[in-house]
Structure 1
Amino acid sequence: MRIVLNLQPNSLYDSIHELMRMAYPGCEIACTEGPGDINFDLSLAIEEQAVSITAQVDTPQGRLRRQEKCAIPQDVGRGLSNWAKQQVRAFTYDLLCELTGSNINRYGILTGMRPVKLVHRLFDQGLTPAQIEQRLLSEYRLEAEKARLLVEIASANRPYLHSADEAGQWVSVYLGIPYCPSRCYYCSFPGAVVKDYEADIVPFLEALFQEIRAISACLREQGLKVQTVYLGGGTPTVLSTYHLEQLFAELRAGGYISQHTVEITVEAGRPDTLDIPKLKVLKDNGVNRICINPQTMNDATLAVIGRHHDKEGVIKCFNWVREVGIEKINMDVIIGLPGEGLSENTNTAQQVLSLNPDNITVHTLALKRGSLMAEKENGITPQQRIRQVEAGVTLFSQLLRQAGYVPYYLYRQKYMKASMENLGYARPGAFCLYNIQMIEERQTIIGLGGGAGSKFIDLEAGRLDSFYNPKNPAAYCQSVDRLISSKVDKLRALN
């Protein structure tokens, strides 16, 4: 199906295209002249005291016209443009629900990655949880269940956020190791599969150590303290024990690990990269949180998605971590993997819960362009498995809450199966601080290494400046001098 948009002004596309995609998944959506299977005309006029929104939609079933006039609030001030866009989104959302005969998004007009940030802004304005829920329902069109969830998560993680004064004193650091032992079929991250360890890893680490040293000098110059460190990727535990020791020595020498550092997480997502000596190195270097990520506890699915381990390998590694004494263990699972339904989800949930991890992160499969699985699933209707996925998410929520876990962070992605989210659960008191700071965007994050993202945050000025290192290891190595220079400039600009 082809949907042709005629928008006045054309900039409305940025406000409504995600809602259109949710209403008509898998359809071509174009801003062009000429007929489509559906022709969607939408215009916005900003008048002196009101905005006027008009729509005409031609479908095979007939023509639908709608118009709405919204009085401009007296206190809108410089926020008029954003307020008008919100009215357009709400108008379009209501219209699309009417056209499709269904609720197109359980999060209403919120289509971004970080909906909890909105709740924190409303808390900043002095609203109560009940008042925030009401605004989410009425102004943003959320379903009641999702509104309650967002308020619950914001209430849980808000005590861990910095004030504007505190935020200027602290950073967290992410280190990206863009290598994996193999590529999972659902993954689009263009990190490298290790083929020749010495040829691949050694030049990359030389560039990473250069970046670590240079940014360390700037952090000290600016008087910034590191609260949390997160080693991600890729799969950081593809590094040898020797190179992990080297990496942690660089981090300690650079002041990234000090008396101020309260959390050090390592993504050891692939059990086939772990052994007891490597885990002891992590423990001895202060790692107090580790991620053992089965994704599923069904061996048939693990083989299909390209994971070179089975569930017994996951259990063995989990027990090794407990034996070595690393304080917290997170386990990631994915709902929406090929061939999996409620029975497979139940099996995974029961086996993961039997291990009693400190954190469980429940992901809803997002098929990114470029993933091998997305290429294979192109012939499948996007709506085919939505009910199964939603049932799986509900199942995990019920079982995890019954077992005493609470949700503490949430983010969403494009191309997710169903209108769902990625949701982090934890035992009370076992929240991952890095995840909270990274998702809620109230602390500067310094990204070092391949594919690492930095967020330079000035809470007082309300500014956020994102900066990303190249994902390709060779491109990263070639550009490390430029990357260092840019980050030093951005860090100095904060203070």
Structure 2
Amino acid sequence: RIDPATLEEFTVEGGRPDTITEEKLRIIHEHGVNRVSINTQTLNDDVLELVGRKHTSAEFYRAFEMARKANIPIINTDLIAGLPGEGFCSFSDTIDRIIELRPENLTFHTLAIKNAADFAQQKDHMKSMHMFSETSKCVDYSQLSAKNAGYIPYYIYRQKNTVNNLENVGFALPGTEGLYNIYMMEEIQTIFAVGAGAVSKMVSRDGKSIERIFEYKYPYEYLADPDGMKNKEKREKSLHFYHNIW
């Protein structure tokens, strides 16, 4: 049993603003959560509808205010540059409005087309020179605005199939950096993960050996294993790693 009071960082991925309620925030706060992510991607309602997000900018503001009232110490907000239908003027307006709210953490992503995305067919959108230029301006503006507002960059990474091969950057007000993000990027922290699609990662003391354990990818597979064969496999691999490698 883990005592939440002993945890240095306890994050809940709140996700879409329309899924966040006062009751959820109250419960996670009572159980020691000190960081929550509320991810709007953009504050342009037309763009949100175009990309299939089931929330509005008003719902984001409502969720953000509820998180503040729930006394969650650190709020992170994710934004995405390069969304279909959004140019520099719209994205820069979103940046300005979000920074006015002063979330402790800001994460700026560049659009990455995923195979399962509803707009995966819009690769022409990503390949256009205009989109390259607009998205590059958006990324530059987001980073400059964050720095001018007192945020510091604390982690960076790239994904496949991003517009113009641009980066994702996490910013934080000093002293509020997301430790999990840093440890994940550096691959220096053992991570135990549960649920469909989860990947546990065990790191040796010297950092030279990493063992990964994959859960079932899909929920129906995960739920169809009542005897917990994957849990048994995870337990055996974990014991072997810590007895013989760690």
> Which TM-score tier does this pair reach, normalised by the shorter chain?
over 0.9
If asked which structure has higher relative contact order (CA below 8 Å, sep 6+), I would say 1
Residue aligning to 1:494: 242
Is the 1:456–1:490 contact (alpha carbons within 8 Å) kept by the matching residues of 2?
A: no
Cα distance change of structure 1 residues 380 and 468 upon mapping to structure 2, 3 Å threshold: same
Task: Indicate yes or no: 2:103 matched with 1:357.
Answer: yes
Distance 2:125 2:63 in 1: 36
SS at match of 2:107: strand
Distance 2:177 2:126 in 1: 37
Distance 2:234 2:26 in 1: 33
Deviation at residue 348 of structure 1 after TM alignment: 0.7
Residue aligning to 1:485: 232
Matches within 5 A, 1:26-65: none
Is the 2:199–2:213 contact (alpha carbons within 8 Å) kept by the matching residues of 1?
A: yes
Residue aligning to 2:220: 474
Residue aligning to 1:335: 81
Is the 2:4–2:32 contact (alpha carbons within 8 Å) kept by the matching residues of 1?
A: no
Equivalent position to 1:382, from 120, 127, 139: 127
Is the 1:291–1:329 contact (alpha carbons within 8 Å) kept by the matching residues of 2?
A: yes
Is the 1:334–1:363 contact (alpha carbons within 8 Å) kept by the matching residues of 2?
A: yes
Task: Indicate yes or no: 2:212 matched with 1:433.
Answer: no
Residue aligning to 1:283: 29
SS at match of 1:447: coil
SS at match of 2:194: strand
Task: Indicate yes or no: 2:97 matched with 1:371.
Answer: no
Residue aligning to 1:263: 9
Deviation at residue 461 of structure 1 after TM alignment: 6.1
Distance 2:43 2:54 in 1: 13
Distance 1:342 1:457 in 2: 41
SS at match of 1:334: strand
Is the 2:77–2:103 contact (alpha carbons within 8 Å) kept by the matching residues of 1?
A: yes
SS at match of 2:106: strand
Deviation at residue 381 of structure 1 after TM alignment: 6.0
Distance 2:155 2:233 in 1: 30
Distance 1:461 1:444 in 2: 10
Is the 1:445–1:456 contact (alpha carbons within 8 Å) kept by the matching residues of 2?
A: yes
Deviations 1:266-294 (A, max 9, x none): 11111111221221111111111111111
Count of residues in correspondence between the two structures = 240
Distance 2:231 2:3 in 1: 20
SS at match of 1:263: coil
Residue aligning to 1:323: 69
Deviation at residue 354 of structure 1 after TM alignment: 0.9
Deviation at residue 459 of structure 1 after TM alignment: 3.8
What letter corresponds to residue 136 of structure 2 in structure 1? E
Q: TM-score, normalised by structure 2?
A: 0.92
Deviation at residue 478 of structure 1 after TM alignment: 2.3
Is the 1:453–1:467 contact (alpha carbons within 8 Å) kept by the matching residues of 2?
A: yes
Cα distance change of structure 1 residues 379 and 401 upon mapping to structure 2, 3 Å threshold: closer
Deviation at residue 427 of structure 1 after TM alignment: 0.4
Is the 2:45–2:56 contact (alpha carbons within 8 Å) kept by the matching residues of 1?
A: yes
Is the 1:301–1:338 contact (alpha carbons within 8 Å) kept by the matching residues of 2?
A: yes
SS at match of 1:295: coil
Deviation at residue 489 of structure 1 after TM alignment: 2.1
Cα distance change of structure 1 residues 491 and 435 upon mapping to structure 2, 3 Å threshold: same
Is the 2:51–2:118 contact (alpha carbons within 8 Å) kept by the matching residues of 1?
A: no
Distance 1:466 1:390 in 2: 35
Deviation at residue 380 of structure 1 after TM alignment: 4.3
Deviation at residue 379 of structure 1 after TM alignment: 4.3
SS at match of 1:346: helix
Deviation at residue 260 of structure 1 after TM alignment: 2.8
Deviation at residue 257 of structure 1 after TM alignment: 3.6
Matches within 5 A, 1:4-403: 255-375=1-121, 377-380=122-125, 382-384=127-129, 385-403=131-149
Distance 2:225 2:134 in 1: 45
What letter corresponds to residue 485 of structure 1 in structure 2? K
Deviation at residue 349 of structure 1 after TM alignment: 0.2
Deviation at residue 414 of structure 1 after TM alignment: 0.5
What letter corresponds to residue 309 of structure 1 in structure 2? H
Structure 2 unaligned residues grouped into runs of 5+: none
